[in-house]
Amino acid sequence: MTHKVQFLDLRSSYTELRAKIDAAVERTLDSGWYILGSEVAAFETEFAEYCGAKYCVGVANGLDALVLALRALEIGPGDEVLVPSNTYIATWLAVTQVGATIVPVEPDLSTYNLDPDRVREHITSRTRAILPVHLYGLPVDFEPILEIARDFGLSVVDDAAQAHGAAYKGRRIGSIGDVTAWSFYPGKNLGAFGDGGAVTTNSPAVADRIRVLRNYGSRAKYVNEVQGVNSRLDEVQAAILRAKLESLDEWNRRRREVAKLYLGGLADCGVVLPASPVDRSSSWHLFVIRVPERDLLKAELEGAGIQTLIHYPIPPHLQQAYQQMGVSPGSLPISERIHQEVLSLPMGPHLANENVEYVIDTICRLRR
């Protein structure tokens, strides 16, 4: 079914910048150099600068960015990592992939983010890191998390796959945690036209280790100092990301405008709206409302031609993939409730005001 209002208009992110993106792709194809060349190097410099971080290392995708961040910190079997119980499964898979133990921490029901007040009680002698996620683009409450990390000598790896351009107390995400992991999956605020990812950090040692790990554990060709992987951001995607990075702030500004319209228009329409704490600037990757009758509302909106999505329908601990962990239904009730009640409304830099108004009017008509 074609929708009257689609969830995300990805094609327009190409057509708006068509000339610039075509030129970037052509320049790269013409260069005759396709892996780890000048485009990746230039993107790393530009994205590090954008984030206010000293270093950026491009990798193949967001999952690898998380995995390589953990590997660079030498986190592995026997180590425990605190992760939010409600997140995209990639956050969990990264911890599993390095052989470490996942310790789920329940979120704050108003921000959907890791609740700093619940972190301390999960720390043991094996805890090595806290892995907060800036879910839906809203930065996590960093200060108390950094304080706990300092008190217990833990590392903070933050999952910023949804938070390009978001800020905490006036400072962009990307250098506040020890290592920040990014995804450039097409639907993210800064998205490639294929897979891509990166880490940013202020630590020269961590940046250097990830640089070596992403390229077969090799610094000099055919000399392998560690058992690395093949996880490189490719030249064509890097060239495209450089072109799109120039529009990120403008596109995020437009997302903020859409969020403001939703927040105003839906204020009295019987839905729980996303929190916007004053000390944080969300990238508004997603605009997520919450209603107990979520599936009904979703169906009704679908009937009105409005495409919505659920982020996410099943929490990681209830996925078949994590059955062996033995976390039974009901044991992470806040996360489970969130997964049953959340609904993501159409959001994006190319969403027209009249479509936002139509979504608002439809929801208010249905809920009042």
Ligand X SMILES: *Cc1c(COP(=O)(O)O)cnc(C)c1O
Q: List interacting residues with ligand X (CB under 6 A).
A: 61-63, 87-88, 90-91, 133, 159, 161-162, 183, 185, 195, 197
Minimum Å gap between C-beta 66 and ligand X is: 7
DSSP for 7-29 reads S---HHHHHTTHHHHHHHHHHHH
Nearer to ligand X, 91 or 281 (CB): 91
Minimum Å gap between C-beta 127 and ligand X is: 21
DSSP character for 126?
Answer: T
Nearer to ligand X, 7 or 363 (CB): 7
Cα separation, 366 vs 289, in Å, equals 14
Q: Decide if 340 contacts 312 (C-beta within 8 A).
A: no
Please, what sign has the CA dihedral across residues 224, 62, 95, 139?
Answer: positive
Minimum Å gap between C-beta 265 and ligand X is: 26
SS3 47: helix
Minimum Å gap between C-beta 188 and ligand X is: 6
What's the half-sphere exposure (Cβ side, CA atoms, 13 Å) at 209?
16
- Cβ count within 10 A of residue 12: 13
Nearer to ligand X, 266 or 345 (CB): 345
Minimum Å gap between C-beta 53 and ligand X is: 18
Q: Which residues pair with 80 in a beta bridge?
A: 101, 127
Q: Decide if 311 contacts 342 (C-beta within 8 A).
A: yes
Minimum Å gap between C-beta 318 and ligand X is: 17
CA neighbor of 71 nearest in space, from 197, 226, 232, 176: 226
Nearest residue (beta carbon) to ligand X: 62
Nearer to ligand X, 10 or 261 (CB): 10
Nearer to ligand X, 65 or 271 (CB): 65
Nearer to ligand X, 86 or 281 (CB): 86
Q: Decide if 179 contacts 203 (C-beta within 8 A).
A: yes
